[in-house]
Amino acid sequence: MANIFGRKKQETAVKGPARVVTELEQLCGEDKETYEALMHTMFLDPRKVAIASKDASENARRFEKAKNDLMTKTWYEIAGGLAIYEGDAKKVSEYFGKCADLSQEMTYTILKDPERAVAKAQEYYKKMLKD
């Protein structure tokens, strides 16, 4: 494009920041479904969660009896995230299944294949949480 003096303007492309690939994304590789499932459910460092999974699930059950759906879902999500860390796919299915029953807007893709997701999460934890 020329300006009024007959010179061409140089067009400069505006580039955004480079996209950073996370360790979890690298471990999952082409398995985008597992990555998406874990991205929304797992704790990156569950050692910093100040409650045991058993206590989190008991809290969820207590709020379930009180018919407080929001707190029930929150505590089941915490229990489910801790179950991922513990490698317990059965508990992951149970806890996130309860969340799915309570949630109208959130889809818990981890329920499609919890064993595969838990296995990938365990790889992540072994690599990233070295003591």
Task: Specify burial of residue 97 (Cβ count, 10 A radius: 0-12, 13-18, 19+).
Answer: middle
Q: Torsion angle of alpha carbons 52, 58, 59, 63, nearest 10°? A: 160
Q: How many domains does the chain have?
A: 1
Residue 75 within a domain: yes
Quickly count: other Cβ atoms within 10 Å of residue 73's Cβ.
20
- Amino acid 92: pLDDT: 97
Residue 45 within a domain: yes
Residue 5 within a domain: no
Q: What is the pTM of this model?
A: 0.83
- Amino acid 6: pLDDT: 64
Residue 6 within a domain: no
Q: Using one digit for the tens of pLDDT, what is the confidence trace for 64-119?
A: 999 999 999 999 999 999 999 999 999 999 999 999 999 888 899 999 999 999 99
User: Could you tell me the residue range of the domain that residue 34 belongs to?
Assistant: 23-128
By the 8 A CB rule, do 109 and 96 touch?
Answer: no
Residue 118 within a domain: yes
- Amino acid 9: pLDDT: 61
